[in-house]
């Protein structure tokens, strides 16, 4: 029997450990992006990689996102497996053509003959007053484009297993880590995400939701940094006798539609909570899945709570108004079971 | 200092601008720590979020903007305060915005990286390289409307590796519009040194690819900057087309407040501090007899008073109403 070493890790540590282990296992895995070297990634996701693997495999890039993200397309087609970081999801606009017309589509357009095993990772989310160009989630935008797999971990254990799986995928994966889950000392951080993580490498398959909490009166389907908030709201309404099931989707593409339907079958009342914009996004897709496949099980209209289609404001009082809070989630649950 | 051609009162005016900027940035650096000790949290205190300060980069703003009119356009990057101050953005409303208050330039919706002031035709963005194309567009509008206005796009040296930089230079040259591109070379794109990210030593050399003048100004010297900017801006205003300036400068604080700057070599920062442009210019003015010590004291006191007044206004201003979060998404809602 092998012995398994388990430690508590922050999500940032779990991500950098996953990348390091894959780099050790597979010399084709390289990391590049802005400030991933000496700085260790602005959010610590590449911490410790430069001293371990050197400048040939951990590469600081110019602020030339079209070029360095596009370069991952060519490099992956010719034998490398790049993990590319772009600091904030808000910054992807400048490189969108390389992503949504090429990285996402080449496999399809080539009849399956061209593969792009690329992980594009980036930080998402608000809650620290960084305003409209540094606080978005936006994974719904990328999930909308066929050909990109979309990973949004909520805790360190999932973060490691999902990163290892993402690197081993032969498809492009976009990996979104929420700044407030990483365990950064300088950022409001949810300790909930800092959990036991085995030292050994392990995979979590993409497309498998996780039931984060059992319940019978209602189900909340959510993802990423909303998971700990929903869990806190669940504790709060439990004191009022409301039993809530919590489904952490973990990936948007593939979407675990069976888990979505199962939650409706079990509890008959569903709330969908997201930190991305409300319209045309994750909450709408989950609600549509419920309407298509689980309408007969529902005893109340589906409810949705997400950023209400406004850019993320700077001022604290305004930001707190638009990002779903534990209070707002608890109120939505109460309204759902009424 | 490189020139004696400027009248003394203009030189002192440049110095005054630099003093206000330095006073402002140093005060913000202090205020930014409020509520963030003993444990630093980016979201805490009266001024939360990222904070990119421009102390050390005053000569760029003062030396270029002294040649601009209030109806000329500036697009600025994520480190915007020195440009805004030099352009004459209302310091009280700007500070209130940085404090997230209802009296701010954007009623608290924008914050320090997203300052908009249509009165002085000033804007900035948190996205690197985002200001080049809008500056070309503003210049196009001036040409189209027969106005002798000029647009200036400021950005850091890291931004010169963005596609928008090259596309904008080409577009401006081919449209022959009155825009000046100004690159602040503070040597670092966050942690990445220029020589590790940029294929040429001087971004100003890149102007030759687009058939426009490119000038490098070394030494963070406000007079040399003012001289080079005067030519570029006059050229644009007279209808002779765009040009590119790259200006060597120094970032005396980190990339953002809280940046430990572990990527810098030991002693690297001390060298920059040694070249601090504000005391250097003050010494020049005093030693050349262009400014008396009394005048210096008076200007510094004025700068402090101006900054104190702006900060008091911001602190005393009310927060926005929560419902304000839902307005302004569209002009015609």
Residue boundaries of the structural domains of chain A: 6-198, 210-337
B111–A35 C-beta distance less than 8 A? no
- Successive 10-residue mean pLDDT values, chain A, 338 residues: 84 98 98 97 97 97 94 92 97 96 93 94 97 97 98 98 98 98 92 96 98 98 98 98 98 98 98 98 98 98 98 98 98 97
A323 close to A127: Cβ distance less than 8 angstroms = yes
| pLDDT in 10s for each residue of chain B, 333 residues | 445 678 999 999 999 999 999 999 999 999 999 999 888 999 999 999 999 999 999 999 999 999 999 999 999 999 999 999 999 999 999 999 999 999 999 999 999 999 999 999 999 999 999 999 999 999 999 999 999 999 999 999 999 999 999 999 999 999 999 999 999 999 999 999 999 999 999 999 999 999 999 999 999 999 999 999 999 999 999 999 999 999 999 999 999 999 999 999 988 888 888 889 999 999 999 999 999 999 999 999 999 999 999 999 999 999 999 999 999 998 887
CATH of A6-198, one of 3.40.50.970, 3.30.1240.10, 3.40.470.10, 3.30.390.10: 3.40.50.970
Residue A2 pLDDT: 61
Q: Is A107 a catalytic residue?
A: no
Among residues B119, B91, B137, the alpha carbon closest in space to that of B307 is found at: B91
Domain boundaries A210-337, corresponding CATH code: 3.40.50.920
Which contiguous run of DSSP H or E holds residue A304?
A: strand A303-307
C-alpha angle B82-B83-B85 in degrees, rounded to nearest 5? 65
Fold match between domain A6-198 and domain A210-337: yes
* Interface list for chain A against chain B, based on CB atoms closer than 8 Å: 34-35, 37-39, 42, 60-67, 90-91, 93-94, 127-134, 185-188, 308-311, 313-322
Beta-carbon separation of A315 and B109 below 8 A: yes
Q: In what order do the strands lie in the sheet with A218-222?
A: A210-213, A244-248, A218-222, A270-277, A303-307
CA torsion, points B163, B168, B169, B174, in degrees to nearest 10? 130
d(CA A111, CA A121): 26
Q: Measured at the alpha carbon of residue A234, what is the angle toward residues A231 and A240, in degrees to the nearest 5?
A: 160
Phi/psi class of residue A232: alpha, beta or left (left: φ > 0; alpha: ψ in -120 to 50)? alpha
Contact (CB<8Å) B114/A131: yes
Could you report the per-residue pLDDT of A146-197, keeping only the tens digit for each?
Answer: 999 999 999 999 999 999 999 999 999 999 999 999 999 999 888 999 999 9
Q: Looking at domain B8-314, does it have CATH number 3.40.50.150?
A: no
The crossing angle, in degrees rounded to 10, of helices B8-33 and B222-237 is 110
Q: Could B326 and A310 be called an inter-chain contact, meaning their C-beta atoms sit closer than 8 Å?
A: yes
User: A149 near A184, Cβ under 8 Å?
Assistant: no
Count other Cβ atoms within 10 Å, centred on residue A211: 15
Q: Would you put residue B7 in left (φ > 0), alpha (ψ -120 to 50) or beta?
A: beta
Residue B7 burial class via C-beta count within 10 angstroms: exposed 0-12, middle 13-18, buried 19 and up? exposed
Q: Give me the pLDDT at residue B275, please.
A: 81
Count of pairs with CB atoms under 8 A, one residue in A, one in B: 152
Cα gap B285→B1, rounded to integer Å:
10
Domain layout of chain B by residue ranges = 8-314
Query: B-chain residues within 8 Å CB-CB of A94?
Result: 127, 129, 162-164
pLDDT at B4: 61
Interface with B, mutate which of A37, A314, A327 (most B CBs under 10 A): A314
User: What is the tens place of the pLDDT at every residue in A190-221?
Assistant: 899 999 999 999 999 999 999 999 999 999 99
Longest dimension (CA), chain A: 60
Answer for the pair A241, A334: CB distance below 8 angstroms, yes or no.
no
């Amino acid at each position: 029997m092998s012995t398994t070493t388990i430690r508590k890790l922050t999500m940032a540590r779990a991500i950098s450990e996953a990348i390091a282990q894959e780099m050790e296992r597979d010399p084709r895995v390289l990391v590049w992006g802005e400030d991933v070297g000496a700085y260790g990634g602005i959010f610590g996701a590449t911490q410790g990689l430069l001293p371990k693997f050197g400048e040939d495999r951990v590469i600081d890039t110019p602020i030339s996102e079209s070029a360095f993200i596009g370069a991952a397309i060519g490099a992956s087609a010719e034998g490398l497996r790049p993990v590319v970081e772009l600091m904030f999801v808000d910054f992807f606009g400048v490189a969108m053509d390389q992503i949504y017309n090429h990285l996402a589509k080449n496999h399809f357009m080539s009849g399956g003959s061209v593969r792009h095993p690329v992980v594009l990772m980036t930080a998402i989310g608000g809650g620290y007053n960084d305003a409209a160009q540094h606080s978005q989630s936006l994974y719904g935008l990328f999930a909308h484009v066929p050909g990109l797999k979309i990973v949004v971990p909520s805790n360190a254990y999932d973060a490691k297993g999902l990163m290892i799986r993402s690197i081993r995928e032969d498809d492009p994966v976009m990996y979104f880590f929420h700044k407030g889950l990483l365990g950064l000392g300088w950022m409001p951080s949810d300790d909930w995400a800092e959990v036991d993580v085995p030292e050994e490498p392990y995979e979590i398959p993409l497309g498998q939701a996780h039931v984060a909490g059992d319940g019978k009166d209602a189900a909340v389907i959510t993802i990423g940094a909303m998971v700990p908030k929903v869990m806190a709201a669940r504790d709060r309404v439990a004191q009022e006798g409301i039993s809530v099931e919590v489904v952490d989707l973990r990936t948007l593409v593939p979407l675990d539609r069976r888990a979505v339907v199962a939650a409706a079958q079990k509890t008959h009342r569903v709330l969908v909570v997201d930190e991305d914009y409300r319209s045309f996004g994750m909450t709408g897709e989950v609600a549509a899945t419920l309407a298509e496949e689980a309408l007969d099980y529902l005893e109340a209209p589906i409810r949705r709570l997400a950023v209400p289609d406004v850019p993320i404001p700077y001022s604290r009082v305004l930001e707190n108004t638009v990002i779903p809070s534990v209070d707002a989630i608890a109120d939505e649950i109460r309204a759902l079971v009424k | 200092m490189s020139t004696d051609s400027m009248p003394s009162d203009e030189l002192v005016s440049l110095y005054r601008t630099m003093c206000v900027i330095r006073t402002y940035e140093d005060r913000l650096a202090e205020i930014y720590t409020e509520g963030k000790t003993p444990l630093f949290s980016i979201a805490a205190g009266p001024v939360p979020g990222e904070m990119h300060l421009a102390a050390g980069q005053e000569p760029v703003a003062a030396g270029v903007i002294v040649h601009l009119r209030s109806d000329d356009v500036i697009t600025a990057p994520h480190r915007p305060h020195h440009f805004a101050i030099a352009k004459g953005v209302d310091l009280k409303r700007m500070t209130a915005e940085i404090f997230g208050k209802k009296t701010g330039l954007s009623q608290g919706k924008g914050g320090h990286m997203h300052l908009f002031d249509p009165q002085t035709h000033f804007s900035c963005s948190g996205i690197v390289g985002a200001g080049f194309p809008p500056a070309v567009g503003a210049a196009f509008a001036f040409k189209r409307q027969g106005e002798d206005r000029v647009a200036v796009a400021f950005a850091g040296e890291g931004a010169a590796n963005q596609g928008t930089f090259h596309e904008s230079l080409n577009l401006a040259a081919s449209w022959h519009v009155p825009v000046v591109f100004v690159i602040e070379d503070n040597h670092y794109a966050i942690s990445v040194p220029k020589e590790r990210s940029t294929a040429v030593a001087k971004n100003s050399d890149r102007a030759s690819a687009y058939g426009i003048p490119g000038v490098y100004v070394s030494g963070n010297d406000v007079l040399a900057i003012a001289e080079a900017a005067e030519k570029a801006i006059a050229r644009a205003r007279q209808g002779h087309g765009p040009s590119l300036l790259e200006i060597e400068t120094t970032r005396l604080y980190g990339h953002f407040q809280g940046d430990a700057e572990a990527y810098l070599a030991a002693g690297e920062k001390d060298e920059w501090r040694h070249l601090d442009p504000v005391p250097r210019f003050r010494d020049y003015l005093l030693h050349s007899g262009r400014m008396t010590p009394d005048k210096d004291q008076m200007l510094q006191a004025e700068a402090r008073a101006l900054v104190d007044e702006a900060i008091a206004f911001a602190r005393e201003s009310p927060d926005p109403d929560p419902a304000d979060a839902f307005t302004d998404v569209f002009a015609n809602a």
